[in-house]
Amino acid sequence: MREEQKRGLGERLQMERKKLRLSQGDVAAFVGVTRQAVSLWEKGVNCPSAIQLAELAALFCCCAHVLLFGEKHQASLLRMLMPDKVAISSAAVD
């Protein structure tokens, strides 16, 4: 994973954690790692494993794709894969 991707992942992990008002220790206990590991993820130094990422996504009630790439990337991917459905759902909101 490139450095900028690690930083982005770390920023999103921290944002989701703070939204739920959890400490790094709370997240660490849920995933089964140390608080220091969570700190290093949030700083973009290290990355969680695939299994840990799935556990984080479950904790934050989002998909791993959003944690890895952000919601903006997910929306553009959905538009590309299902343009008709996205257009219909957008029209329903308007």
| Cα 43 from Cα 39, distance rounded (Å) | 6
Q: Give CA separation, 2 vs 10, 41, 45, 87, in Å.
A: 12, 13, 11, 33
pLDDT tens digits for range 35-91:
999 999 999 999 999 999 999 999 999 999 899 988 765 556 666 666 666 554 444
DSSP output for 20-70: TT--HHHHHHHHTS-HHHHHHHHHTSS---HHHHHHHHHHHTS-HHHHHH-
Give the pLDDT confidence score for residue 70 in this predicted structure.
87
Tokens 């973009």 appear where? 44
Residue type (1 letter), 57 = A
Top-tier CATH class for 3-68:
mainly alpha
pLDDT for position 91: 47
Please tell me the predicted confidence (pLDDT) of residue 78. Answer: 61
Cα 31 to chain center, whole Å? 14
- What pLDDT score was predicted for residue 82? 67
pTM (2 d.p.)? 0.75
pLDDT in tens, 8-36: 999 999 999 999 999 999 999 999 999 99
